[in-house]
Amino acid sequence: MNEIAYKLHVDKVIETIERARLSISGHHIVKIVAVSKYSDTAAIEALYNIGQRAFGENRVQDLKSKSDTLDALPLEWHFIGTLQKNKINQLLEIDPTLFQSLDSIELAKALQQRLNEREMQLDTLLQINSANEASKHGVHCDAAVEVYRQISEECPNINLRGVMSIGAHSNDRQTVQRSFEATRSVYEQIEGDICSMGMSGDYELAIECGSNMVRLGSALFPK
């Protein structure tokens, strides 16, 4: 795809986001995080060149190598993958803009200890397993408000900003909608300003359910 065709493609995505956010309110702002996990640095630069600034990766090594390669560009990097305890230090070396996938108290405690040692703070989202799917990471909705409160109290170096969730893995719109509404309900009960939900297949619905951050891979990086 040449640059003009690519820009038109991305504009279509942005128009869809605009329609969905305006259905909530003109004041409802949605941030786009471009998920570059299946894309190389040339593709990231191409998207940067048409205005995108925030990118997300789900493996610490990839986050490191891509952010190093593109160090000269003013990009924001988000970590959206499962974090193994033995990778915490590597993630903190990179110091991402937002760690979106804190998925347990145990991980929070390990992270807090490392942050404290380094005297640093990390903006973080609590990942919610909104459809209670065994294949997914995150805290179940029933426990999420309490876990969020506990991490806020016990982990002063983790700056909790809100919640992240992956919509239910289903072709049934109602099922996906219910999972977004469950996350939204948690979001309304906690102190935070980010509700990260919606991927390429379901971001319109996610925004209609209150998402203010979408994580888009294939929609922004067409093959």
Ligand X SMILES: *Cc1c(COP(=O)(O)O)cnc(C)c1O
Q: Which residues bind ligand X (CB under 6 A)?
A: 35, 37, 58, 80, 166, 199-201, 215-219
Nearer to ligand X, 80 or 122 (CB): 80
Residue 219 CB, nearest approach to ligand X (Å): 6
Helix locations, 25-167, DSSP H: 41-49, 60-69, 88-94, 105-118, 141-154
Nearer to ligand X, 43 or 199 (CB): 199
Residue 223 CB, nearest approach to ligand X (Å): 11
Nearer to ligand X, 149 or 210 (CB): 210
Residue 216 CB, nearest approach to ligand X (Å): 5
The C-alpha angle with vertex 124 and arms to 137 and 53, in degrees rounded to 5, equals 105
Nearer to ligand X, 170 or 200 (CB): 200
Nearer to ligand X, 27 or 223 (CB): 223
Residue 63 CB, nearest approach to ligand X (Å): 12
Residue pair 58/39 in contact (Cβ under 8 Å)? The answer is: no
Token reading at 87 = 């990778």
Residue pair 149/192 in contact (Cβ under 8 Å)? The answer is: no
Residue 72 CB, nearest approach to ligand X (Å): 26
Residue 130 CB, nearest approach to ligand X (Å): 13
Rounded Cα distance between 106 and 155, Å, is 11
- Closest CB to ligand X: residue number: 217
Nearer to ligand X, 145 or 219 (CB): 219
